Amino acid sequence: MRRALIFDMDGVLVDSMHMHAAAWKKAFLEEGIAISHDCIYRLEGANDRGIVESILHHQGIFGSFDSFSSIADRKQALFNIKDVKPFPGISDCLELLSKDYLLAVVSGSDRNAVDGILGRHFSINFNAVVSGDDIVNGKPNPDPYLKAMEYLGADSENCIVFENAPYGVEAAKRAGIYCVGIPTYVDPQLLGKADKVLECHSLFLSYLQDLTCC
């Protein structure tokens, strides 16, 4: 069975989480709900439903996602994929890895954002792409990674997940997959459930380059 590498998108492949956080912050503030960037960084990986429901809960606001879905719609309108940039060296490295590995993306972002960013910045065709719209129970539930393995026809023993958020790490481990954490926007200690934590993106790129030699 071919080995598979599964990547979170925002904060792993592309430097975009500060833009997601700014869009969420503005969308919530327009509804009179004040949040911080750090709040979004800690919830990163969850789909729109998960983010809205978590913030409402922590703010002590009662209501379902359906009642506040306009916040997610507004966030999507505010987020501009044209401003997103991939991390240096990632695209070329993925090209090399695609010769020996199945490659997948598992993101909590909506389908339009995922397809738009991947299509704009990466020339390879990923073997599987799971967006936040494809899953009811997003990260930290294991469902997104279980879905990716299903699409890939892979088992957990032959996969490695690359994640930069606590929810994503938890989801990968609950799916039984070896997980490498990259603390792009959070304290490394928050990724303590990962099997390995790389302190910065340059080490992440080196790790990937080493895999091209395996």
Which tokens hold the place of 8? 């979170």
| 123 and 34 within one domain | no
Pick the last residue of a domain from 58, 81, 104.
Answer: 81
Pair 171, 139: CB distance under 8 Å = yes
* Residue numbers in the chain where pLDDT is lower than 50: none
| 58 and 22 within one domain | yes
Say which CATH number the domain at 56 has.
1.10.150.240
Would you state the pLDDT for residue 185? Answer: 86
Pair 59, 65: CB distance under 8 Å = no
Say which CATH number the domain at 184 has.
3.40.50.1000
What pTM value is reported for the model?
0.90
Pair 40, 139: CB distance under 8 Å = no
Residue 107: name the closest of 53, 171, 62 by CA. Answer: 171
Which tokens hold the place of 93? 């490295």
Q: What are the helix (H) ranges across the chain?
A: 17-29, 37-43, 48-58, 69-78, 90-97, 111-121, 143-152, 166-174, 201-211
Number of folded domains in the chain?
2
Taking the C-alpha atoms of residue 188 and residue 6, their distance in angstroms, rounded to an integer, is 20
Would you state the pLDDT for residue 184? Answer: 87
Would you state the pLDDT for residue 43? Answer: 86
| 38 and 111 within one domain | no
Would you state the pLDDT for residue 65? Answer: 78
Q: Which residues pair with 104 in a beta bridge?
A: 6, 128
Pick the last residue of a domain from 81, 101, 119.
Answer: 81
Percent of the chain with pLDDT over 70: 99
Pick the last residue of a domain from 55, 81, 107.
Answer: 81
Would you state the pLDDT for residue 175? Answer: 98
| 104 and 71 within one domain | no
Would you state the pLDDT for residue 214? Answer: 66
Whole-Å CA distances, 212 to 93, 94, 98, 162, 206 = 8, 9, 9, 15, 10
| 123 and 52 within one domain | no
Q: How far apart are the first and last CA of the chain?
A: 15
| 74 and 89 within one domain | no
Range of the domain at 107: 4-15+84-211
Residue type, 178: Y
| 133 and 148 within one domain | yes
